[in-house]
Amino acid sequence: MAENNSIWDKLFNMDRRWIFLLMAVVVIIPFFFKMGLPINTTDEVEGIYNYVDSLEQNDAVMIGFDYQPGTMAENQPMSEAVMRHCFARKVPVFITAVLPLGNGLAEEAIANLTDPDEPGTFQRVRYREWHSYDYGQDSLPSRVTHDQLVNLWERDHQLREDAMGWVFEGVDYVILGYAPLFHIVLLGMGRSIVSQYPADLYGNPTENMPMVKRNKSAREVDLGVTVAGSSAVLWWLTYAHESYGMPIAFGVTAVMATDYLVYLQSGQIVGQMGGLRGAAEYEVMLKRDGYSIEEGKAFRGMDVQSIAHILIVILIVVGNVAYFAGGYHRKGRRLRAGR
């Protein structure tokens, strides 16, 4: 009995530094060894995915990078997942930002999705590169589509072997960027996108871009996805959805997710990604349908999160067993009784 008590004593009085070390080990290991714990998709994330999957080249999506680096770990994988889906389906993407730092996050997302050193990414062509290129006798139509531009561009350019396709700035995406008083900007885009953004982030005139010529106002955009770490998502709901009927989807941090489920239940939004889990679900569906060769950062992050949660549960169970098996509950009662 004494030996058992000594074991429980050691467990109950374990130096907390061992717990910190154990947590560090289980968090670090999944970064080097992919575990691939299963993730089941939910209706709210499937709602966004299925909506985007139903869009065609003549449709368009607007993504709001409405977060800062503080919530980047949760929000950035959401933005990249939706953008990858759109690029794979050749659906044009308008990119905006509620905050100035959103510009840099949008640029980083594009860079990640078009990284030439990573297999399964896209090959980017800047606006000025393809727009000023000499196509010979074939004139470049002002409303050139993705497929038309690919046919012309590939006469003299070759897609790299491991790329999933071309991405043309001004045809497949445009970074409109940050603009102050964004709720007013949303209202203004309901009349004209060019009136609010005469030039993109790099100074290219938006009025000459084929995707803007085909979608002159936000009323013609088929889905707005606001990815945020704050209540900025409600600006989209109020000033885009309620004002001129743009369908809206939310991508929010885990602590915010339950606050906005009411808008999902009321049918005001088509879906919601909540936290890292929501992004990981979207990545699972992208791989399932062949839009990516492997899951992204969110899926791997869920391995880390799941294992950490399992360890915490185990430690709680062990602590409670040690508390009762070691008689600490009886000792506490005697101390409180003054004996």
| DSSP strand pairing (93-97 vs 223-228) | unpaired
**What is the structure's pLDDT at 4?**
47
What's the rounded Cα separation, in Å, for the pair 164 and 161?
A: 9
Residue 254 neighbours by CB under 8 Å, 6+ apart: 74, 274, 275, 276, 277
**What is the structure's pLDDT at 3?**
46
Encoded tokens for 154:
């590939």
Residue 226 per-residue DSSP state: E
Q: What are the distances in angstroms from CA 169 to CA 17, 96, 189, 339?
A: 51, 15, 20, 79
Encoded tokens for 9:
């004593």
Which residue's structure tokens are 């489920």? 261
Q: Amino acid identity, residue 48?
A: I
**What is the structure's pLDDT at 16?**
83
**What is the structure's pLDDT at 320?**
83
| DSSP states along 112-141 | HHT-TTSTT--EEE-HHHHHS---TTS---
**What is the structure's pLDDT at 145?**
92
**What is the structure's pLDDT at 127?**
96
Sign of CA dihedral 225, 230, 235, 238: positive
**What is the structure's pLDDT at 327?**
64
What's the rounded Cα separation, in Å, for the pair 328 and 234?
A: 51
pTM value > 0.85: yes
**What is the structure's pLDDT at 334?**
54
CB atoms within 10 A of CB 207: 15
**What is the structure's pLDDT at 309?**
83
What stretches in the chain show pLDDT beneath 70? 1-6, 326-339
